[in-house]
Amino acid sequence: MVQQTVMAAEGLDKRFWQGGERIYALSGVSFGVERGSFVAVMGASGSGKTTLLNLLAGLLRPDGGRILLDGMDFSSLGGSERARVRRRRIGFVFQDYNLLPNLTLEENVRLPRLLDKPPEGAERWAAEILEFLGLAGRLKHLPRQLSGGERQRAAIARALSMKPDIVLADEPTGNLDLRGSSQVCGLLRRLCRERGCTVLAVTHAPHVAIHADRILMLGDGRLLSDRPVTDFADAEQLATAYQRLLAPAAGEAGEEGRP
């Protein structure tokens, strides 16, 4: 069965000016994301992974290349139209949760459905997601009354509340310990398998990336590698492969996209 590409990046470039110098945050990045898959974008600080996520979400516009959503040129839309598409088709999970402190968990999750017309069945979907994420008994709690893992799951539930096609996650386990990280990664995989969601998560951690179906590796704004997770026996082997990819001796292999 041929899987459908739901999102694609084609030759993405993004430049910033810093101290009078032009910095390439991304240079010629191209890849596709298949519907229902879990893709991890792995990279160290400064590799361009957060810039990539913001471009895919329509929060930034590329200086070159384009982003396609089901074949539509998402990156060419105006700001208000990109925001409308983002609200309805893309869920964003923030590293620091971004939960409103004076709203209950239930109110935080409902908030996106108050900002735009929700799709049919959204209320029922949200209730099922809260149950799926193990939060049904915490709905009346404020964020400060929740554990770190519960706040992260609440952020995921909010991102899913409009039944988006794609979930983009920025370091979704960055504030969690190893056990909490494994739980969140397991939930993201289940969302793909059981709910048909498409997840793309950026991370610097091999123990997070190893849970994905496919791993993209970024370095200095370039896509160095695009490989299935089955190429790696475990997180340690993945970490070693990434370090080798960044080493000067691996420069030629990095340009070809394979370590």
Residue type, 86: R
Q: Which of 40-44, 78-82, 95-99, 174-178 has the lowest mean pLDDT?
A: 174-178
φ, ψ dihedrals at 253, nearest 5°: -65, -35
Helix 105-115 to helix 122-132 angle, to the nearest 10 degrees? 150
* The model's pTM: 0.87
* pLDDT class of 250 with cuts at 50, 70, 90: very low
Q: State the virtual CA torsion across 208, 211, 217, 221 in degrees, nearest 10.
A: -50
pLDDT band (50, 70, 90) for residue 248: low
Judge whether 53 lies within some domain: yes
Mean pLDDT of the chain: 88
Q: Is residue 129 part of a domain?
A: no
Residue 158, pLDDT > 50, answer yes
pLDDT at 233: 95
Supply the pLDDT for residue 55: 95
At residue 190, the pLDDT reads 84
Question: Would residue 244 count as lying in a domain?
Answer: yes
pLDDT at site 141: 97
Q: How confident is the model at residue 258, as a pLDDT?
A: 44
Average pLDDT of the residues in 138-157: 92
259 falls in which pLDDT band (50, 70, 90)?
very low
Q: Has residue 72 got a pLDDT over 50?
A: yes
pLDDT tens digits for 34-67? 999 999 999 988 899 999 999 999 999 999 999 9
Domain count, the chain: 1
Q: Which structural domain, as residue segments, surrounds residue 48?
A: 5-96+164-254
CA 80 – CA 101 distance, rounded (Å): 27
Most confident of 66-75, 129-138, 169-178: 66-75
Token pair recorded at residue 245? 């990819």
Nearest-angstrom CA–CA distance, 227 and 176: 26
Q: Is the model's pLDDT at 129 over the cut of 70?
A: yes
CB 163 within 8 A of CB 119: yes
Query: Does 232 map to a domain?
Result: yes
φ, ψ (nearest 5 deg) of residue 201: -120, 135
Inside any domain, residue 154? no
Is the pLDDT assigned to residue 1 strictly greater than 80?
Answer: no
Average pLDDT over residues 175-189: 83
Residue 82 lies in a domain: yes
pLDDT at residue 257 is higher than 60: no
- CATH code of the domain containing 245: 3.40.50.300
Per DSSP bridges, beta strands 166-170 and 64-69 are unpaired
Q: Once rounded to an integer, what is the mean pLDDT over residues 238-249?
A: 83
Which two three-digit tokens encode residue 13? 């470039």
What integer is the mean pLDDT of 220-226? 94
Over 60: is that where the pLDDT of 2 sits? no
Is residue 197 one of the residues assigned to a domain? Answer: yes
Return the pLDDT at 230.
Answer: 96
Please tell me the distance from the alpha carbon of residue 212 to that of residue 82, in angstroms, as a whole number: 27
Q: In the structure, what pLDDT confidence band is assigned to residue 136 with cuts at 50, 70 and 90?
A: very high
